[in-house]
Amino acid sequence: MSPRVDPFNNARFLVEIEGITRAGFQEVEFGSAETEVIEYREGNDPPVMRKLSGLTLYCPIRLVWGITSDMELYTWYNTCITSGAAGQKRSIDIILLDDGGNEKMRWTLSNAWPSRYIPPDFSALDCDVAIEMLEIVHEGFTRVT
């Protein structure tokens, strides 16, 4: 009998952004990948549609964190606004850790850049942590491990 394999907890993760050191993300909303299905049939084919693969769409990811005085991620976004994203594309790694803090899985996103910045909401009626969010578009990801 093989040993039991438990699934990993989703609360232990790291985000590595090429050229940016930032700790303490509260959440990473990982976008999906979907490949378009193209239906095709020639006149002399059997009466069944062939399924061909088309373009692949990678949805944005969203990074969520408690706001601090650190401006590095906002500066990256602002540079994309003022200078364009062409020179600002970076590699991003999202790393899943086990309970001991060891790397178990890694996804690498290519040519990523921030396309949307969401500043925190404020309310004098509660004392929640102020949250910033950054949506990042990319040209694909690979599960490395």
List pLDDT tens digits, range 79-118. Answer: 999 999 999 999 999 999 999 999 999 999 999 999 999 9
Structure tokens at 132: 């910033």
CATH number at residue 127: 2.30.110.20
Residue 80 lies in a domain: yes
- pLDDT reported for residue 91: 97
Residue 7 lies in a domain: no
- pLDDT reported for residue 102: 94
Residue 3 lies in a domain: no
- pLDDT reported for residue 55: 97
- pLDDT reported for residue 125: 93
List pLDDT tens digits, range 118-136. Answer: 999 999 998 999 999 999 9
Range of the domain at 32: 13-143
Residue 1 lies in a domain: no
Residue 94 lies in a domain: yes
Number of domains in the chain: 1
Does residue 44 surpass a pLDDT of 70? yes
Residue 5 lies in a domain: no
- pLDDT reported for residue 21: 72
Q: What is the dihedral sign for C-alpha 98, 101, 106, 107? A: positive
User: What single DSSP character describes residue 88?
Assistant: G
pTM of the model as a whole: 0.89
List pLDDT tens digits, range 11-39. Answer: 999 999 998 877 689 999 999 999 999 99
